[in-house]
């Protein structure tokens, strides 16, 4: 059941945080996603300093090694990306570059803060999606229905594979992603393809097998939970390792590695990420914080008495990011309830029932 509460912005394609369907074979899905993004994508790229930096990698052997790894491990998702390029009327080489920005530009402007909280049978994952302020009111939700896979609902940046933001699939999995700024990428599967691959999993264990088995090219932090699984896990994936921690009662993550052992890996820790991580830790550890939706949303909306805030709406944000949407997932045996907020206002109220592997679309 999908229930739209209200629009989130100006009128026009991919300007209302509307929900769009994309179904079929990988190339068909990609083509539809490209069509949706076409009205805003060129203007988005024209103003993007990140794209100017990424485009300098055209023809580089390292980029070809990334594409070869994607083709070897996840050929269907490479076809999805090529279909997206066709739907956008963009060269496939350029769109692939854009979807490898985390491997090619260490300071890629993708932020985010994630919270996870559980007590008994109550389990929540909450997430601020932070990105380029240009994309405010220019993103969408997509209901992706691949043949033979569970299918999922995801926040969608125009021209980027769904899955590297926040999403829930029909097997009851929730995944939220936080950017890690890794200084030492390697030839391997681009992180956005790896994050998208997780959404085809039927269980938390299968999702972890995907992340552990594929050679990662750079790094993301994944928070993953399953409606039919008591666990929520925090996973820091880099080219060097896949670190999995089980959430006890409450945990939060910003945009740098914090698991034990991460100090041996080169990363960029921005002032914003450091401040948000410290503030999240302080708020979640407060003994008076109740385990309620309202309390978790208050943490994500926090503007902090000092330092840089968790909720980001400053046009002069030092990382060049603003909070574009906030999502709250409640995991239950029957499926996942999702609320999506835009500018502090609820715009979607979604229940995604869990579908068994045998009857998955």
Per-residue pLDDT 10s for the chain (361 aa) are 444 444 443 333 455 589 999 999 999 999 999 999 999 999 999 999 999 999 999 999 999 999 999 999 999 999 999 999 999 999 999 999 999 999 999 877 678 999 999 998 999 999 999 999 999 999 999 999 999 999 999 999 999 999 999 999 999 999 999 999 999 999 999 999 999 999 999 999 999 999 999 999 999 999 999 999 999 999 999 999 999 999 999 999 999 999 999 999 999 999 999 999 999 999 999 988 999 999 999 999 999 889 999 999 999 999 999 999 999 999 999 999 999 999 888 999 989 999 855 443 3
Short-list 207, 235, 247, CA closest to 116 = 247
pTM for the structure as a whole: 0.94
| Residues with Cβ within 8 Å of residue 150, at least 6 apart in sequence | 169, 170, 171, 173, 199, 200, 201, 202, 355, 357, 360, 361
Residue that has been written with the tokens 């739907």 in this structure: 87
Instruction: Tell me the CATH class for 2-24+111-359.
Output: alpha beta
Parse the chain into domains and list their residue ranges: 2-24+111-359
Question: What's the DSSP call for residue 130?
Answer: E
Q: How far apart, in Å, are the Cα atoms of 259 and each of 125, 253, 287, 321?
A: 19, 10, 23, 24
Tell me the C-alpha distance between 73 and 60, whole Å: 21
Tell me the C-alpha distance between 149 and 334, whole Å: 19
User: What backbone torsions phi and psi does residue 165 show, to the nearest 5 degrees?
Assistant: -125, -105
Q: What is the pLDDT of residue 344?
A: 84
Tell me the C-alpha distance between 190 and 16, whole Å: 29
User: What backbone torsions phi and psi does residue 111 show, to the nearest 5 degrees?
Assistant: -105, -120
Tell me the C-alpha distance between 355 and 303, whole Å: 39
Q: What is the pLDDT of residue 17?
A: 80
User: What backbone torsions phi and psi does residue 220 show, to the nearest 5 degrees?
Assistant: -140, 155
């Amino acid at each position: 059941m999908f229930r739209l509460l209200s629009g989130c912005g100006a009128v026009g394609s991919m300007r209302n945080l509307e929900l769009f369907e994309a179904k079929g074979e990988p190339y068909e899905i990609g083509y539809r996603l490209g069509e949706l993004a076409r009205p805003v994508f060129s203007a988005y790229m024209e103003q993007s300093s990140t794209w100017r930096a990424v485009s300098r990698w055209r023809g580089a052997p390292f980029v070809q090694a990334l594409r070869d790894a994607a083709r070897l491990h996840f050929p269907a998702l490479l076809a999805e990306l090529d279909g997206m390029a066709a739907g956008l009327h963009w060269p496939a080489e350029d769109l692939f570059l854009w979807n490898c920005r985390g491997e090619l530009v260490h300071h890629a402007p993708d932020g985010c803060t994630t919270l996870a909280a559980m007590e008994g049978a109550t389990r929540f994952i909450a997430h601020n999606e932070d990105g380029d302020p240009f994309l405010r009111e220019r993103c969408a939700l997509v209901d992706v229905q691949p043949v033979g896979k569970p299918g999922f609902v995801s926040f969608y940046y125009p021209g980027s594979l769904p899955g590297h933001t926040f999403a829930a699939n029909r097997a009851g999995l929730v995944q939220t992603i936080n950017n890690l700024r890794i200084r030492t990428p390697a030839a391997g599967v681009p992180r956005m393809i790896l994050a998208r691959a997780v959404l085809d999993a039927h269980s938390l264990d299968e999702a972890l097998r995907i992340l552990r088995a594929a050679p990662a090219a750079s790094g993301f932090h994944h928070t993953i939970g399953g409606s039919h699984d008591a666990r929520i896990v925090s996973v820091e994936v880099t080219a060097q390792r896949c670190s999995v921690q089980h959430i006890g009662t409450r945990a939060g993550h910003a945009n740098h590695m914090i698991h034990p052992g991460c100090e041996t890996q080169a990363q960029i820790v921005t002032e914003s990420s450091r401040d948000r991580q410290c503030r999240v830790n302080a708020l979640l550890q407060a003994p008076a914080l109740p385990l309620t939706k309202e309390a978790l949303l208050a943490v994500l909306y926090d503007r902090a008495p000092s330092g840089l805030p968790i909720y980001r709406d400053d046009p002069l944000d030092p990382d060049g990011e603003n909070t574009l949407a906030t999502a709250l997932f409640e995991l239950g045996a029957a499926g996942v309830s999702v609320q999506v907020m835009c500018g502090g206002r609820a715009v979607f109220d979604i229940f995604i029932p869990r579908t068994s592997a045998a009857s998955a679309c």
